[in-house]
Structure 1
Amino acid sequence: MISLDALGPNGNFRTRNRLTVTDVAGTPVAELSLVPKVFVTRAMSALRRATTLPVRERLAALARAADVFVNANIAGLSFADYEHAVSRVSGVPLSVVRSATAAIVAAAEQARFSAFQARPTGAVDDWRDERTTLGSAVWTRRGDVFAVHAAGNHPGPHGLWLEALALGYRVAVRPSRREPLTPHRLITALRSAGFGDDQVVLLPTDHDAADEILRAADLGMVYGGDDVVGKYATNPNVLPQGPGRSKILLTRDVDWRDHLDTIVDSVSHEGGVACINATAVFVDGDPAPLAAAIAERLAAIPTLPPQDPKAVLPVAPVESARAVANYLAAQAKSTLTVLGDVVDELGDGSAALRPAVHLLDRPDAPQAGVELPFPCVWVAPWTPRAGLAPLRNTLVLTAVTGDHALVDALLDEPTISNVYVGDHPTYWLRPGVPHDRYLGEFLMRTKTLIRS
């Protein structure tokens, strides 16, 4: 059993109240210490009293943490053992876990570059800059303490909150009960690299105390479904990270056959679990041949346990997989199933979630907005007359088109976060470009300063 202590402002803390973390087959893997609300309150107060490290020290510490994260033995696990455990616990394919952990390492190493990409060109980040003698905007924090309610469906999002550390925030992370291994390892590495115990903390806790983490912070970020987004939508101090509902649009001037690889990869590349996986594909023309071609490709993906290096599909406990399949069946009643049979049991109490393809008969069908944590795609017809309405509320929209006026309209649409024009998969991302706007846009503000 892996022991995952809470990481408080006075060091590791092992509680009597512990949660058993199991793998997808139900086998116990780890024990996670759950802290009470009073511990959370005291930890958040300690973060508020702490002093931020100077910028050079914290950026150097982030770079050292990347090395510790990969090379140290943490909680009794080597890096390879940790990645294997994450795959077994979360059900995310091992290849996806490896890609995500590499992205976390890159985020730590390049924190200076990524975090400061959001700074306005007219601002400086240090009041001592010579430009302030004539008057200049200075980029400053909106607060001192940042709270994160972490995601558990994919390790990758843990690379994002490292930018808050780079910008000088003290950070409190409430890990997901589904996959607490990544934040525990990352925060342990950060502390080993030079961040004090009162600079970054791990606070596993129940829902009541989780609200206390956000209440006691200056700003927060939460991951979850539509219910989470709705809960915090009107709170200006909380940044919700919800479903992506990423989409692909192919207009009449292109041949979808030339882009089938990109379409299929966009649906399945991350195991279908990420918000940047394509949920819906719209085509100006008959969508049936495209749906059939997507289904043929996806049907060839093998069913394998998540820790197999060749695994592509996510795995879940059988009961959870059946619940997902039942929900999909209820949502898809008025659609044509092109590829189904979602649950494929592995014989150990777990099941792979196999791809699903459904054909819609109109662009505004509500099913196109249903996002599920496996390769599940809705293929629908679209015409210019349908306009932007079916394409709204999208994290990433890949538009394979030569219509420049349409591209202008997509960029002007406020509910579409990112637009990829041409043969680019929806999962494309690199350090320095915003995932869902720059985090620095939320964390920072500008002040005017003139000095003698």
Structure 2
Amino acid sequence: MSGPRHAPTHPPVEAPTYASVGCPVQLDALGPRGAFRARNRLTVADVTGRAVAELSQVPRLFVQRGLSALRAARPADTGEPAEVIARAGHAFAHGSVGGLPASEYQRLVSRVSGVPVAVVRSATARIERAAAGVERTVRGARPTATAGHWRDPLTRGGGAVWARRGDVFAVHAAGNHPGVHSLWLEALTLGYRVAVRPSGREPFTPHRLVTALREEGIGDDRLLLLPTDHQVADDIVRGADLSLVYGGDAVVEKYRGHPNVLTQGPGRSKILLADVDTGGAAALSSALDTVVSSIRDEGGVACVNATAVLVAGDPAPVAAAIAERLAGLPSLPPEDDKAVLPVRPTAEARVLERYLLGQAEGATPWLGGDGIVDELGDGSAVLRPAVIQLDRPNAPQLGIELPFPCVWVAPWSPEDGLGPLRNTLVLTVIGGDGRLVERLVDEPGIGNVHVGDHPTHRMVPGVPHDGHLAEFLMRSKAVIR
């Protein structure tokens, strides 16, 4: 897509292979002249603390030269990126990429991130679907009266054309869930040159996806993988035209005033049970599958997992029913096919447990009140679910999001208004009338609204996750010819 590749100026490096004999996988930086193995390398450990990979950490000069190469690369031919991305998505999900089979990749991701392997497989399929439908997704985000190219007949006599807001797009990726890497494929489709900084916690997914895209024809000078330490990371944002940055509240606050930085922070997704009190046990039973799925699916680690349930009425029966369902989940290593709960190194798990118990002081624990750590005996521990009942809808704990199935259950009434429901990525509302739904859809502090039996984590191809990424990447430009 970007012409002949430059000949590497350094010796070629071997493809990554699994550390079956105690030799860590080498995850090289992927620069404009091919793979590069840096002297400075970050050890990537699995949940037991065993080193399984070394991630090259490139210096500032390498980043600067890489971003310069992105700027110098020629634009892709119309229609070419989407075809290449679709092929790469299939290879990513099913093939051997960089010498690593798909099944081994999924096992490694599970072992280093602690995310259940079934969730990793599901995320792999999601990335493949996103790659296959990426052209349709970006086309669906384009304003209907805006042309995709200046030669479109709509511009005769004057019209709008969808145009990029820049040329270079940077991604500071998250490591909590592989599925986050389905999003930035849209930037490639729209003609951006892309630099991805992988998370040191789980670098396998971005390394594999960038490698697959390059192997299928995306030029080395159009797509980079730039692993760096935190001191150099900001150089990538400063050197790009636009950036997508994942992180917690501190990261969101850091970039709040940067118009060229789109942040993806905590989701604080919620469920509103608007009619359970009047519907009785039957209403609760019919809603419970959706509630429990929203809390526990995806391992409870995603921003679209529900972290709060607000109940129009007495929250105690709801909290008890949720706790009963979640209590029976098994504690298993993450690579076990039956695993559904996340795993962390035991020391990290204990830190999370102490934080939870401190925040839950004075509340009513239905599950997890005695702790949430279940040690596996190998240095790792399962993070078991927690269900905590609160006494009011404006309790500060409703804003706490933790990386395992942890839910705060509180009362709500129409008199409480929409305040307790704001600052929410996804809100599933079960019950209520059309007037309530209309108010929820109109509320700017609620990102997405699912009405009825649709869990908070449900994602549909072409439906925006947190607005269309293309809304940030593109603008309508007037063209008269």
Query: What TM-score do you get using the length of structure 1 for normalisation?
Result: 0.98
Cα offset, 1:250, TM superposition: 0.9
Partner of 2:350: 322
Aligned position for 2:317: 289
SS across alignment from 1:47: helix
Instruction: Provide the secondary structure at the position in 1 that maps to 2:300.
Output: coil
Cα distance in 1 for partners of 2:475, 2:89 equals: 28
- State the shift of 1:118 in Å: 1.1
State the partner residue of 2:335: 307
Q: For 2:139 and 2:243, locate their aligned partners in 1 and report how far apart those are by CA, in whole Å.
A: 19
Partner SS for 1:269: helix
Equivalent position SS for 1:143: coil
Which residue does 1:42 correspond to in 2?
Answer: 65
Do residues 371 (structure 1) and 401 (structure 2) align?
yes
**Aligned partner (choices 411, 414, 420) of residue 381 of structure 1:** 411
Q: Kindly report structure 1 stretches of 4+ aligned residues shifted beyond 3 Å.
A: none
Question: Do structure 1's residue 256 and structure 2's residue 279 form an aligned pair?
Answer: no
Contact 2:32 2:221 in 1 (8 A): yes
Query: Could you tell me how far apart the structure 1 residues matched to 2:378 and 2:75 are?
Result: 48
Contact 1:55 1:166 in 2 (8 A): no
- Stretches of structure 1 that go unaligned for 5 or more consecutive residues are none
Contact map agreement 1:59 1:111 (CA 8 A) in 2: yes
Question: Are 1:197 and 2:220 an aligned pair?
Answer: yes
CA RMSD, 1 decimal? 0.9
Q: Which amino acid aligns with 1:103?
A: R
Q: Partner residue of 2:360?
A: 332
Structure 2 CA distance for partners of 1:159 and 1:338, relative to 1, 3 Å = same
Cα separation, 2, equivalents of 1:75 and 1:440: 30
> Which of 65, 86, 97 is the aligned partner of 1:63?
86
Q: Does 1:13 align with 2:36?
A: yes
How many residue pairs get matched?
451
1:188 to 211, 216, 234: 211
Q: Deviations over 1:423-442 (max 9, x none)?
A: 11001111101100000000
**SS of the counterpart of 2:218?**
coil
| Alignment partner, residue 267 of structure 1 | 295
The separation in 2 between residues aligned to 1:356 and 1:74, in whole angstroms, is 39
Q: After TM superposition, give the deviation of residue 234 of structure 1 in Å.
A: 1.0
What code does the residue aligned with 2:324 have?
A: E
- The Cα offsets for residues 350-382 of structure 1, whole Å up to 9 and x where unpaired, read as 000000000000011010110000000000000
Question: Which shows bigger deviation, 67-76 or 342-351?
Answer: 67-76
| 1:433 and 2:448 aligned | no
The answer to whether 1:234 aligns with 2:264 is no
Partner of residue 356, structure 1: 386
Contact kept? 2:98, 2:211, Cα under 8 Å: no
Q: Secondary structure of 1:448's match?
A: strand
In structure 1, C-alpha distance between the alignment counterparts of 2:99 and 2:80, rounded to whole Å: 28
SS, match of residue 55 in structure 1: coil
Q: Return the offset for 1:130.
A: 1.5
Is 1:424 the counterpart of 2:473? The answer is: no
Q: CA deviation at 1:27?
A: 0.9
Q: What does 1:174-185 correspond to in 2, within 5 Å?
A: 174-185=197-208
Kept after mapping to 2: 8 A contact 1:295/1:338: yes
**Contact 1:8 1:43 (C-alpha < 8 Å) held by counterparts:** yes
Per-residue CA deviations over 1:55-110 (Å, capped at 9, x if unaligned) read 21111111121232134323432010000000001000001000001011111111
Partner AA of 1:110 in structure 2? G
- Counterpart CA distance in 2 for 1:70 and 1:379 is 38
Greater CA drift, 176-185 or 404-413: 404-413
1:406-421 maps to which residues of 2 (within 5 A)? Answer: 406-421=436-451
Structure 2 residue runs without a partner (length 5+) = 1-23
- Note the C-alpha offset of 1:135: 1.9
2:150 corresponding residue in structure 1: 127
CA contact (8 A) 2:91 2:97 kept: no
Shift of residue 20, structure 1, vs aligned partner = 1.0
Bigger drift between 111-120 and 137-146 goes to: 111-120
Q: Which moved more, 1:123-132 or 1:295-304?
A: 123-132
**SS at 2:288's partner residue?**
helix
Is the aligned partner of 1:139 residue 2:169?
no
Contact 1:47 1:170 in 2 (8 A): yes
Q: Distance in 2 between matches of 1:231 and 1:148?
A: 16
| Equivalent AA in structure 1 for residue 349 of structure 2 | A
Counterpart CA distance in 1 for 2:186 and 2:194 is: 10
1:68·1:192 contact (CA, 8 Å) conserved in 2? no
One-letter amino acid of the counterpart of residue 355, structure 2: Y
CA contact (8 A) 2:93 2:125 kept: no
Q: CA deviation at 1:5?
A: 0.3
Contact 1:8 1:198 in 2 (8 A): yes
Give the Cα–Cα distance (whole angstroms) in 1 for the partners of residues 96 and 118 of structure 2: 21
CA contact (8 A) 1:4 1:75 kept: no
Distance 2:428 2:95 in 1: 39
Amino acid at match of 1:282: L
CA contact (8 A) 1:357 1:376 kept: yes
* Structure 2 residue 138 is matched with structure 1 residue 115: yes
CA distance in 1, matches of 2:254, 2:60: 21
Give the conservation status (yes or no) of the 8 Å contact 1:268–1:375. yes
Letter in 2 for 1:140: A
CA distance in 2, matches of 1:268, 1:424: 14
Pairing 1:280–2:308 present: yes
Indicate which of 382, 394, 401 corresponds to 2:431. Answer: 401
Instruction: Read off the aligned partner of 1:131 and give its amino acid letter.
Output: L
Q: 2:269: which partner in 1? A: 246
Question: 1:172 maps to what in 2?
Answer: 195
Residue of structure 2 aligned with 1:220, choices 221, 243, 259: 243
1:131 positional shift: 1.7
Say if 1:321 and 1:353, in contact at 8 Å, map to a contact too. yes
Q: What TM-score comes out, normalization by structure 2 length?
A: 0.93
- CA-CA distance at 1:403 after TM superposition: 1.5
CA distance in 2, matches of 1:359, 1:75: 48
Question: How far apart, in 1, do the equivalents of 2:252 and 2:432 lie?
Answer: 34
CA contact (8 A) 1:223 1:240 kept: yes
Q: Residues 156 and 334 of structure 1: is their aligned pair in 2 closer, same or farther, counting only changes over 3 Å?
A: same
